[in-house]
Amino acid sequence: MRRFLISVAAVGAATVALCAASVARADVFPTVAFSFDVNTFTYTYTVTQPTNATWKFGYLQIDTGVKNQAPTGPWQISGPFVNSVELPWLKGSKSLTPTAAFAYWQAPTPNDEIDNNLPDPWVGVFKLVVPNSQPVSGYSLTMDGADDSHNITVIDVPGPAVVPEPSSLIALGSAVCSGLMVIRRKK
């Protein structure tokens, strides 16, 4: 019995040591802050790459609830700006579904941070202008930028969606009022 208790204690100590080691090696990812200018329909995503990041940062994707076409297009995609200088990253948009697309920024090489001698830590400002849109809940993807990268972080940030046109809002309001009148008459 004594040997059994010693073995259980040893296994328990090893488990605690492994858990402590995995907590100490927790992955560190960039953070993404969001702001929206209602007058210009500009979505600004500020990415902070910490000094102790697990992977280099080289890709940002913002999923939207709209397509890059009228009435919410064409989009203007710029950045990243680091110390007010725009870096020469690839940028564009791709379709997700028949009614939605995403905007992306990708470093020309997976080690673009090193190639551009960026400060450590560094902050990049990414801008997306989507006419006639409003922010809704969404998410962004950040990763190292390498092809077929699996070093992905998903961060909850708002993305663009269509602003309902006034006639749609009037129709919706009329339907609600009519429904309330029918309910009132039944009483």
Q: Which CATH architecture has domain 31-163?
A: Sandwich (2.60)
Distance CA 129, CA 10 (A): 59
pLDDT of residue 59: 84
**pTM here?**
0.69
CA neighbor of 127 nearest in space, from 63, 43, 32, 57: 43
Q: Whole-number mean pLDDT of the chain?
A: 74
Distance CA 85, CA 109 (A): 18
What digits encode the pLDDT tens for the residues 92-132?
Answer: 999 888 888 999 998 877 555 544 567 778 899 999 999 98
Could you tell me the end-to-end alpha-carbon distance of the chain, in angstroms, rounded to an integer? 77
Kindly state the helix (H) or strand (E) to which residue 158 belongs, with its residue range.
none
pLDDT of residue 21: 42
Backbone angles phi, psi at 186, to 5 degrees: -70, -25
Percent of the chain with pLDDT over 70: 64
- Lowest mean pLDDT, pick from 17-26, 33-42, 47-56: 17-26
What digits encode the pLDDT tens for the residues 70-91?
Answer: 888 899 999 999 989 998 888 9
What mean pLDDT do residues 46-74 have? Answer: 84
Domain ranges in the chain are 31-163
Q: Is the dihedral of CA 92, 96, 102, 107 positive or negative?
A: negative
